[in-house]
Structure 1
Amino acid sequence: MGIIGLSIAATRPLFIGLTPLALLLSSFAVMLFHRDHRLKVWLIFVLIYLLGLSVEMIGVQSGLIFGNYKYGNGLGWKVAETPLIIGLNWLLLVYTATSLSSRLKIARIFQVLIAAFILLTYDLILEQVAPKLDMWSWDNNIIPLQNYLAWFALALAFSILLVYSKTKVTNKLAPLILLCQFLFFVVLNLLLP
């Protein structure tokens, strides 16, 4: 439904406006299948949210982390020119990628590296369509290498936090949500002008 709505110029603004709701619903659905309800785990989730949001705020204001970019209106309410939902997006993406990589019976360090590479690949696709969805845009429409390095580093750090805190991210829905989002952006890259 979202692909169709975003592909039609007349309905695109409406569907762009629904993006924060889609992220909230995806996050809620993933958390319905989350089974580790220790206080420590929820504090880690809050920490990832706050760190993700803070890094993005610093990045938008300074250009030092990801490069020079600004957020549009596609991700909803902003504080310090940064959408409040972006911290939740970091949590959702890291959780789903780590849930997928943790299914592999390999050393934890390789699980976190794979999760970070999954999210780097995700970002390579997302960056191409984000400006078309009024999520964010780059100065001179040039995505700097610095952005991808920062994405990888943050994804790695957050995944390390989940894995080495022994947070149980075994979740039946998480890999499916990640795959759906990935395919969603791949298709939009092909359809949007």
Structure 2
Amino acid sequence: MNPPIVAKTNLSVKSQQFAAGFLLVAHLAGIIGLAWPVTRPYFQLVTPINLVVSATLLLLFHQQWNRAFVFFLMFTFLLGVGIEVIGVHSEVVFGAYQYGETLGLKVMEVPLVIGVNWFILSYCTGVICSQLSFPPLVKSLLAAIMMVALDFFIEPVAIFFDFWHWEAETVPLRNYLGWLAVAWIMQLAFVYLPFSKKNPLAIYLFMAQLVFFLILGSIV
């Protein structure tokens, strides 16, 4: 039996279009602001705010709220922050790296907004792959691979703008293997927990982030 419904989102098509347009414009502004040295410091400061606003819009357009979804939300946030704390202090999970100052408030040397980012990526890719006609295990693996693929494009941008930095000159293979393992755990939770897998903003936010990092990656 599914957990009882707490709330159901019922927003208009116009509001969906406005939110999608806002996300695309915000990411385009971020590309221009970060690419231009004069405005770069200011746009670096608002990077955590952009992630929080993006996550808030996703949550507003989630189709149904129940206990399973709240659990998934908290699970991805806490697992994301927790595994990063272990990673930063042990160098076992992803390799030897440290966070810079761009992503804001830290707990145990890990920015809290990183947990928000893990939720955004796992949720968006999960929603996208949920529409495919594959068994749940295959969907979860494909979504996890999408997360790793996006991280591949995130890395050069993150290093340049002081999101984080690696002790080695190149990103270690261990990072991508660690990402795949953590991402798959999150995707298994997404697939098997009984909550709605529909969100009209998920594809727009994922594509906005992909274009954002592809363009900035070509510049830096």
TM-score by length of 2: 0.85
- Work out the CA distance in 2 between the residues paired with 1:78 and 1:32: 26
User: Residue 147 of structure 1 aligns with which residue?
Assistant: 175
User: Counterpart of 1:175?
Assistant: 203
Matches within 5 A, 1:154-193: 154-192=182-220
Q: Distance in 1 between matches of 2:81 and 2:74?
A: 11
Deviations 1:135-164 (A, max 9, x none): 000003221100000101111110100111
Which residue among 1, 8, 11 is the counterpart of 2:39? 11
Q: Aligned-pair distance for 1:27?
A: 0.4
CA contact (8 A) 2:65 2:195 kept: no
Superposition RMSD on alpha carbons, in Å? 0.9
For 2:172, the aligned partner's letter is P
Aligned to 1:43: 71
Alignment of 1:57-136 (within 5 A): 57-136=85-164
Runs of 5+ consecutive residues of structure 1 not aligned to the other structure: none
Q: C-alpha offsets along residues 112-144 of structure 1, whole Å, 9 cap, x if unaligned?
A: 011011111101100111011110000032211
1:26 aligns with 2:30: no
Amino acid at match of 2:212: F
5+ residue gaps, structure 2: 1-28
Q: Name the aligned partner's letter for residue 99 of structure 2.
A: Y
Equivalenced residue count is 192
The amino acid of 2:145's aligned partner reads F
User: Deviation at 1:167?
Assistant: 2.6
SS of 2:98's equivalent in the other structure is strand
Partner residue, 1:53: 81
How big is the shift at 1:168? 1.7
2:68, 2:194 within 8 Å by CA — same for their partners in 1?
no
* Residue aligned with 1:157, SS: helix
Q: Counterpart of 1:185 in structure 2: which amino acid?
A: F
Runs of 4 or more, structure 1, over 2 Å off, are none
> In 2, Cα distance between the equivalents of 1:149 and 1:76?
26
Give me the whole-angstrom Cα distance separating, in 2, the residues matched to 1:106 and 1:129: 33
Measure how far apart 1:102 and its partner are.
0.5
Is the contact between residue 76 and residue 115 of structure 2 (CA under 8 Å) also seen in structure 1? yes
> Quick one: which amino acid aligns to residue 160 of structure 2?
K
The residue identity in structure 2 corresponding to 1:15 is F
Cα deviation, residue 40, structure 1: 2.5
Displacement of 1:166: 2.6
